[in-house]
């Protein structure tokens, strides 16, 4: 690998002269600058990114911490992040918490020690204490929370209005004639679960539909727990005629339970969900509608914020927190 010292030896000049010439420093004569650039091109010289980082105090690396890359929603967020980051010559380091609070702590602790130019985080479902997140902020690391955003953390945020998404979905079900609408919600610690609950309840009240605790079930987002809670809904004295599910994965697991019980999907019991997974377009029986959360745009906007925080000319302040809330879209799949 060609170095500045190697170029300097061949031209019989100092390494500092070569370095300045490569930066087109006017202190170096034009003839010398031309000779240095010509030889550097012949020898396929590539500047050391490590050296650049040491001079600038930057790494050109953004870190991204998310629960599970295998979930289509998060993989689409990654696509949005990588697209814009690479356009601006940033690398993206990807970490998965696997929804573990302990693992999330370890990752953020490592990122605090190892310099990166910014972190994007969607919290694990096990996380109920957030001191490790505040510690990262206190160390001056630019942080953007996305999708799963814990309360009372003052930093930049990008998400989708899940309360409105649940409200729109419940109102739509009511407009289709459904009267007993259940909610298969996510676990309690997730703010996204509370947002869905508020939107669901608000729509029920407006539509003068029954608000019953028995129609609301919280699941830990596993297949087994979803199966148990859906079975409870089916076997209740007053079975719901429609279910609003936390996401398409929960809806698909719940629909399997209905099939095993001999129920006809979207006839005996119907489903609406969140995430708008592409695979549902290939299913004979998919949820009647799904709330599009715009994951690609979420990733894109998170990188926009980090880029502005790393660009002194942007005027962006680390303490002037941006809160971006995208508008959800109910995608109806009725035949």
Q: Give the pLDDT of residue 316.
A: 73
Residue 229 CB coordination number (10 Å): 22
pLDDT (0 to 100) of residue 318: 66
Is the Cβ–Cβ distance between 142 and 309 less than 8 Å? yes
Contact 156, 316 (CB under 8 A): no
Contacts of 162 (CB under 8 A, 6+ apart): 192, 195, 196, 199, 274, 291, 293, 328
Asked whether the whole model's pTM tops 0.85, one would answer no
Can you give the residue ranges of every domain in the chain? 4-47, 60-160+295-327, 162-292
Q: Cβ-count burial of 68 within 10 angstroms (0-12 exposed, 13-18 middle, 19+ buried)?
A: middle
Tokens of 322: 């941006």
- Mention every residue, 6+ apart, whose C-beta is less than 8 A from residue 96: 65, 66, 67, 68, 69
Strand partners, 156: 144
- In 112-224 the beta strands, taken as DSSP E runs, fall at 118-121, 143-146, 156-160, 181-185, 216-218
> Which residues are within 8 A (CB) of 25 and not within 5 positions of it... i.e. 6 or more apart?
33
Q: Which fold has domain 60-160+295-327?
A: Rossmann fold (3.40.50)
pLDDT digits (tens, 9 = 90+) for 225-275: 999 999 999 999 899 999 999 999 999 999 999 999 999 999 999 999 999
Which residues, in sequence order, are bridge partners of residue 218? Answer: 185
Q: What pLDDT sits at residue 54?
A: 44
CATH topology agreement for domains 60-160+295-327 and 162-292 = yes
Flag residues of the chain having pLDDT under 50: 54, 56
The CATH homologous superfamily to which domain 162-292 belongs is Response regulator (3.40.50.2300)
Structure tokens at 324: 């971006």
Q: Do 229 and 223 form a contact (C-beta atoms < 8 A)?
A: no
- The answer to whether the CB of 236 falls within 8 A of the CB of 261 is no
d(CA 62, CA 304): 12
242-245 vs 216-218, strand pairing mode: unpaired
């Amino acid at each position: 690998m060609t170095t500045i010292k190697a170029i300097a030896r061949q031209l019989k000049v100092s390494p500092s002269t070569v370095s300045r010439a490569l930066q087109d420093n006017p202190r170096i004569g034009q003839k010398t600058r031309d000779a240095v650039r010509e030889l550097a091109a012949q020898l396929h010289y590539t500047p050391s990114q490590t050296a650049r980082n040491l001079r600038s105090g930057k790494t050109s690396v953004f870190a991204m911490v998310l629960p599970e890359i295998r979930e289509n929603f998060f993989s689409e967020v990654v696509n949005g992040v990588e697209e814009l980051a690479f356009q601006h010559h940033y690398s993206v380091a990807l970490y998965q918490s696997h929804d573990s609070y302990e693992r999330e702590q370890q990752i953020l602790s490592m990122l605090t020690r190892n310099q990166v130019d910014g972190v994007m985080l969607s919290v694990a479902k096990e996380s109920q204490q957030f001191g490790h997140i505040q510690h990262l902020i206190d160390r001056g690391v630019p942080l953007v929370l996305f999708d799963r955003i814990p309360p009372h953390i003052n930093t930049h945020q990008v998400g989708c209005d899940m309360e409105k998404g649940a409200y729109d979905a419940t109102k739509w079900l009511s407009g289709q004639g459904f009267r007993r609408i259940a909610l298969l919600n996510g676990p309690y610690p997730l703010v996204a679960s509370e947002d869905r609950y508020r939107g669901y309840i608000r729509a029920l009240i407006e539509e003068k539909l029954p608000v019953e605790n028995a129609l609301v079930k919280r699941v830990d987002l596993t297949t087994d727990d979803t199966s148990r809670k859906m079975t409870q809904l089916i076997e209740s004295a007053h079975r719901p005629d429609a279910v609003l599910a936390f996401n398409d994965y929960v809806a698909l697991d719940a629909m399997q339970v209905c099939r095993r019980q001999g129920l006809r999907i979207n006839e005996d019991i119907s489903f609406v969900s969140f995430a708008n997974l592409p695979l549902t377009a290939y299913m004979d029986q998919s949820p009647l509608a799904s709330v599009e959360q715009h994951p690609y745009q979420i990733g894109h906007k998170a990188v926009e914020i980090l880029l502005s925080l790393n660009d002194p000319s942007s005027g962006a302040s680390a303490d002037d927190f941006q809160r971006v809330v995208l508008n959800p879209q109910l995608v109806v799949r009725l035949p």
